[in-house]
Amino acid sequence: MRFRVERQHPHAGGIKVLHEIPHITPCLLEGPNGIGKTLAVHLLELVAGGQPYLADPQLWASLKASLGPTTVTIDNLADDRSLVVELDPDRWPDVVGEPLGDRLGVARLDGAEVPASTAAKLLSVVRIAGTETPAETVKRSMSATRARLVAASAAVEPRIAAVRAAMGGLRDVLRDLDPAQAAQLRERQRKAQERVAAAAHAAEETTRRRHKLDEALEARAVLSAREEDRRELEQRLKTVENDLKAARADQARLGREADEAREQLVRGGVIAEQLASAEKTLQGRLRRLSNREEEAEEALAQVGTPENLEGELRRVVAELASARSHRADLDTGERAERVVGQFLAAIDLARRGGLADDQVLLNIDGRAVTVEQLADLLRARAIELAERPIPGAVERLDAGVSELEERRRLLQTAKERVDARERQRVLVDEQRAEVSRLRSQLGPDVQERLQKLLADLGTADQRVLELAREAVNLRTLLADRELASRPDAQAAMDRLLPELAIAIDDLDEAAASAQREDEVAETALATARRDLNSIEHDLRVAALAAERAVEELQSRRDLLALTGMQNGDGQLDAVAVERLAAAVHAVDGRLDDAANGLAALAEAAGALAAGQLGGGRLFAEPFVAAAGEQLRADLDTPAIRQVLFDDRPLRELDLRARVLRWTDADGDRRERPLDAFSTGEQAFAFTQARIRELEPPAERDRLLVLDEFGAYVSADRMRHLAEFLQEDEVRAIASQVLVILPLQVNYANELGETRGQLRQRYQARVDQLQRQGYITVPLSELV
Amino acid sequence: MTPESGRSPHLDSATVADADPAIADRNFARALEVVDQVAAQAVDPDERRILTAASDLLRAVGGRFEPGPVLAKELRRALSR
């Protein structure tokens, strides 16, 4: 490719740009400082979609301000194409780091306008600076690795998802299977079965022991029996039977008494109700008595509370009659008034009864007086009499009579109220008597008595039971004594005690203990059986799930094809589907591992790139080892060995310790810190390593620029580098290589000292310098 | 002056990688190299297991990819254990 850079204003902004890189590869470019060699390369990097100013925002700002419109022409691209890009810095982003994309400027490919970002698809520009340190190489190498892993991871993710999706059908069929759980259950079943067997065995043992102890107790009983004992037993039995009879009688009596008390309680209930009612009535009567007393007191107070009320009343009534009579005597007019009134009343009555008004009633001195006339006369007279003035004595007597009438009335009221009070008192007394009678009928607390009777009855029952039991025991003993023989009992005892490993004195305790142990063993056995049942139930459920899965799977040829399993021939059964479920789970795990593995590796690479080599992170150790090994391998080339390691193989690159190790010709182990390599050595070794990292560009051209090497690489290393750059390995990753050096020689001065081919070369260089200010020649001239 | 990362912009985009099988294959190939190298250095059994799975899977899903055959192979491998 041929690259040309033309600025609209070549000298503006105080910067210069190299204006041509010829179509030579590999090409050596020598020139003095300040002619814009690196700037030209950076511009090409920008055109090719890179951003060389990522770490230099200030330089970017300066470039943007100073460059001005610039045209970059690239000829001899693949397929003989030509690209012209007119850079427009005014459109470039202020913030470095954003991809330029189409804001680069205006582009034309073979004359036709295309988006400026097209250039990135056609051209790659890689610049390697000789000022780089090994640490930066490691960092970049790790960054590149990380990028590859991230890309691979991103590409792999949808594919993993596709595989999982393909597993979807199987998962559905196997959804209820949990092989891990089934395996666990089977293990638990086995253990539970063992426990049941052990518990059954233990229960059997304890039962056997208990039976032996019972037998020993029996034998002891026989041995301890004597003839005297028998009589004693019989006597005892008789006593017990008598006691039992008495106890039964007692029991019956208490029973009867309790029944009576119950009845009384019931009756008492009725009387209690009556008593409550009577008390209520008494309360009412007392209230009314209180009212009556109050009324009587009030009435008596009004009449002055005489000692003998009746007497007083009688006296007032008599006095009143006397006063009235006296008055009547005093006031004849009153009599006349009365008579007239009576006559008038009789006439009116007769008139109403049909007596005619014109009926003659009287003849007075020949004058006939009719009914009506007589009535009128009588009426007039009544009025006269009524209007007559009452004599003073009569008036006074009237007043007295009024008073007496008033007093009589009050006395009468008082008497009535006193009578009412007395009547109420009687009622109250009657009611009190009734309440008293009912209370006496209720008697002492029947409930309490009943409780006591019941308690006594319980005791009596218990006694009867015990006595009955004792009687039975005694009868049994007596019966046994008739049948059991002493020698047999002794033999049994002699056999049993050693078997039981106890002394005869410990027999009772051992029997009690054995009873308890037997119960515990039975309980343990029941528990163990329950556990086993539960586990077996779970296993049955799991087996059912497996059977169902088998059925489903049998109908799914597509899934069977996936698994490689056959239907029929008994190959597809519950065991097989369980294995299949485990396999699905395993595949899932592997897919996870793969995805996570890539991600974790990418992360480890990123950490390494950032200089964080700390352990503990997943894959940190092997990654560091592998990265170190890769870099070692990259450095372990004949050329590098020869110049750096005494032509010996490089044993190890320890990234953690940052040392290189090799064994020298004398067999001694050598090591040197990475940072201790001279810059010249670094440049050579690491440049090679970096170049090897490059990916081949996909059907694009790539310009590989080695810049600023001159200060660091000695002449012989330069030759090795030049040889390396011409190898097929490098050709595969870059269609054009450019090595930029400062002027190595004062060619004009040296011209006179050279002859032949070298002189020709120098001359050509002098010419170039004069013409364009820098030299561009094939790199092979160095070799 | 900043050092050039030396990596292809194509590697930044999985979309591009997927669209371009050749690039996807290269990614896989280089990633596989890294995985295998690290796996060779792994001593821890868990790390080794994960890396082996990653390596196998890259080989299985790289290049032309059909989920069915990959799954079938994985299942049969798991069943044979």
How large is the ipTM? 0.74
- Least Cα distance to A597 among B29, B30, B51 occurs for B51
Among B22, B38, B65, select the one facing A698 at the smallest CB separation. B22
Q: How many helices (H) and strands (E) does chain A have?
A: 23, 16
Average pLDDT, chain A: 85
What are the chain B neighbours of A155 within 8 Å (beta carbons)?
A: 14, 17-18, 24, 27-28
> Per-residue pLDDT averaged across A701-712, rounded?
82
Among B1, B11, B56, select the one facing A129 at the smallest CB separation. B1
Residue A727 has pLDDT above 80, yes or no: yes
> What is the C-alpha separation between A677 and A685, in angstroms, rounded?
10
A145 touches chain B (CB under 8 A): yes
Confidence of residue A497 (pLDDT cuts 50, 70, 90): very high
The answer to which of A229-243, A287-301, A320-334 has the lowest mean pLDDT is A320-334
**Nearest chain B Cα distance for residue A55, angstroms:** 6
A357, A370 in Cβ contact below 8 A?
Answer: yes
CB contact under 8 A, B47 and A594: no
Tell me, rounded to whole angstroms, the distance of Cα A247 from its chain centroid. 67
Measure Cα distances from A13 to A25, A43, A67, A71 in Å.
Answer: 32, 16, 7, 16
> Per-residue pLDDT averaged across A385-407, rounded?
79
Phi, psi torsion values for A361, nearest 5 degrees: -100, -40
> What is the C-alpha separation between A350 and A357, in angstroms, rounded?
10
For residue B25, the model assigns a pLDDT of: 60
A707, A127 in Cβ contact below 8 A?
Answer: yes
Residue A478 has pLDDT above 90, yes or no: no
CA-based nearest residue in chain B for residue A599: B54
For residue B7, the model assigns a pLDDT of: 35
Q: How far apart are the first and last CA of chain A?
A: 22
Report helix, strand or coil for A175.
coil
Residue B2 has pLDDT above 50, yes or no: no
The answer to which of A333-337, A501-505, A522-526, A615-619 has the lowest mean pLDDT is A615-619
Residue A278 has pLDDT above 50, yes or no: yes
The winner for highest mean pLDDT among A105-109, A651-655, B58-62 is A105-109
A706 touches chain B (CB under 8 A): no
Phi, psi torsion values for A472, nearest 5 degrees: -60, -45
Burial of A367 by CB count in 10 Å (0-12 exposed, 13-18 middle, 19+ buried)? exposed
Tell me, rounded to whole angstroms, the distance of Cα A185 from its chain centroid. 28
Q: How far apart are the first and last CA of chain B?
A: 56
B80 touches chain A (CB under 8 A): no
CB contact under 8 A, B43 and A120: no
- What are the tens digits of pLDDT across the range A735-761? 999 999 888 788 888 888 888 888 888
- The partner residues of A114 in beta bridges, in order of sequence, read A107
B16 touches chain A (CB under 8 A): no
CB contact under 8 A, B14 and A151: yes
CB contact under 8 A, B5 and A143: yes
For residue A254, the model assigns a pLDDT of: 92
Higher pLDDT, A461 or B8: A461
> What is the C-alpha separation between A624 and A631, in angstroms, rounded?
10
For residue A51, the model assigns a pLDDT of: 78
> What is the C-alpha separation between A544 and A542, in angstroms, rounded?
5
A63 touches chain B (CB under 8 A): no
Q: Would you state the structure tokens that stand for residue A520, as one six-digit string?
A: 């515990």
CA-based nearest residue in chain A for residue B57: A594
For residue A732, the model assigns a pLDDT of: 86
What are the chain B neighbours of A170 within 8 Å (beta carbons)?
A: 75
Among A54, A145, A695, select the one facing B34 at the smallest CB separation. A145
> Per-residue pLDDT averaged across A272-282, rounded?
87
Q: Give the whole-number percent of chain A exceeding pLDDT 70.
A: 90
Among B9, B20, B53, select the one facing A590 at the smallest CB separation. B53
> Per-residue pLDDT averaged across A636-657, rounded?
78
For residue A428, the model assigns a pLDDT of: 94
DSSP symbols for A631-696: HHHHH-SHHHHHHHSTTPPEEEEETTTTEEEEE-TTS-EEEEEGGGS-HHHHHHHHHHHHHHHPPP
Higher pLDDT, A494 or A676: A494
The answer to which of A254-258, A332-336, A667-671 has the lowest mean pLDDT is A332-336
- What are the tens digits of pLDDT across the range A315-331? 999 988 888 877 776 66
A553, A581 in Cβ contact below 8 A?
Answer: no
- Least Cα distance to A125 among A31, A28, A21, A29 occurs for A21
For residue B1, the model assigns a pLDDT of: 24
For residue B12, the model assigns a pLDDT of: 34
Confidence of residue A783 (pLDDT cuts 50, 70, 90): low
**pTM (whole model) above 0.90:** no
